[in-house]
Amino acid sequence: MTAFTDVPDVAEFRSQLVAWLDENDLAPPDDHSLDAHHEQHARVLGALYDAGWMRWGWPESAGGLGGPMILRAVVGEEVVGRRLDEPGPYSMIEVLTPTMIDYARPGLAAEMVPRLLSGRETWCQGFSEPGSGSDLASLTTRAEQRGDGWVINGQKVWTSFAQYATRCILLTRTGPGHAGITAFFVDMDSPGIDVRPLRTMHGVDEFCEVYFDDVVVPTDRMLGNPGDGWQLAMDLLPYERSTCFWQRIAYLYSRFDALVGDVKDLGQAADFDMGETYLALHTLRCRSRATQHRLAGGQKLGPDTSIDKVLLSGAEQQLYDTVRNLLPGVVELDDTAWRTEFLYSRAATIYGGTAEVQRNIIARRLLDLGKE
């Protein structure tokens, strides 16, 4: 267990975590398969949970140790920034846990959240559908009440890590419009669920199609009440765009460190491109820091986080464009991590709300430009 008797301050927390990570070797094996990443994820979370680190910043009612959520961002920064866990799997915790704490019955949250935080289980998020991407509220996966349960039929897509998941936070349609969306916490081994990984252009089969064919879910697995699903989806954005972004930024900085090493023979010729990338990453990091301090100060995050999202996707693509520009052939001719990462970065302006949707939100809600 961590040594703190009281809620630690951020600097003290970080220095003790760093010392602990220096003493406990959690370095990943040299195996870049998705299976290996999944195993490493479980191993790192298990160790961090047992030592208490994974529990800070989460409420005691859900198995946490309390304290401000900024502590979670510190853990994420150190774990992902050191490349102990990959940013994708690690980020799922931040996307899923707050939803459970805010919407599941207290007993269910207390039972389930520790399984996720300790890496004993992986969960997935069933939101997007083939016909509902940017327009998420048009989703059509049906849930119908039958006896003392609900029966689900439909299809989800882009469901990250569904092939490893034991549970799914699933959005379904139970009525018309935004108020007709209802969320469930579904066991992935329920009869009638079929998971098919998608082949993607970067060669990592992280995203899945998930089919639901008369899948029965008990009523006590509903998250919130019927019709709360849209609000649930909106409520998780502040977490996704604060602590979760901070981890991704830490990851991008670690990759930028690597690029500084890879381009050193180019000398001055690389300075402008490297400076531009640094400026984009630094701007993003400053913005994300300010966002987290606002959240910590009790302010409600809203459409302003669309600015963080635009900055993140822009900086990420700029980093990998710079990789390709300064290291000609490395993406095209060499089978290195840069290739996979460059290709994956093409999705940065698409997932988590497209860059266009973010700009629509900024125009409507922040600039008050009225309707289109």
Partner 1 sequence: MDAPLDAESLTLLEDGLRKTMLSTSGAELDAALAEMGWADMLSGMPEDAIPLVFRLLGETGSHASVLNDVVQQTADRELGATPALPFAGGGWVVWDYHNVADPALGGLPLHRVDEGGLLRLADARRALGWWLVGSSRAMLTLARRHALDRVQFGRPIAGFQAVRHRLAETLVAIEGAEATLTLPGVDNPDLTALLAKAAAGKAALTAAKNCQQVLGGIGFTAEYDLHHHVKRILVLDGLLGSSRELTKKAGAGLRARGSVPRLAQL
Catalytic residues: 240
> What does the alpha-carbon distance between residue 119 and residue 46 come to, in Å, rounded to a whole number?
5
In 3D, which of 321, 323, 312 has the Cα closest to residue 358? 312
Pseudo-torsion of CA 151, 157, 162, 168, nearest 10°?
A: -40
The single residue among 162, 188, 217, 281 that binds partner 1, judged by CB under 8 A, is: 281
Q: Does 298 bind partner 1 (CB under 8 A)?
A: no
Q: Indicate which single residue of 121, 276, 331, 350 sits in contact with partner 1 (rule: CB under 8 A).
A: 276
Query: Quick one: which of 44, 92, 217, 284 contacts partner 1 (CB under 8 A)?
Result: 284
Which range in 120-128, 181-189, 198-206, 282-290 contacts partner 1 by CB under 8 A? 282-290
Residue 341, Cα to own-chain centre: how many angstroms? 17
Stretch that binds partner 1, among 69-77, 103-111, 121-129, 170-178 (CB under 8 A): 69-77
| 297 scored as a contact of partner 1 (CB under 8 A) | no
The reply to whether 372 sits near partner 1 by the rule CB under 8 A is: yes
275 is a contact residue toward partner 1 (CB under 8 A): yes
The residues that bridge with 150 in the sheet, in sequence order, are 145, 217
| Residue range at the interface with partner 1 (CB under 8 A); choices 26-34, 155-163, 187-195, 363-371 | 363-371
Strand, coil or helix: 160:
strand
SS3 154: strand
Q: Kindly state the tokens that stand for 155.
A: 């299809």
Contact set for partner 1, span 93-152 (CB under 8 A): none
Residue 307 contacts by C-beta under 8 Å, 6 or more apart in sequence? 287, 358, 362, 366
CA–centroid distance for 159 within its chain = 12
Q: Footprint of partner 1 on this chain (CB under 8 A)?
A: 10, 70, 73-74, 77, 246, 253, 256-257, 260-261, 263-264, 267-268, 270-276, 278-279, 281-290, 292, 307, 310-311, 356, 358-360, 362-364, 366-367, 369-372
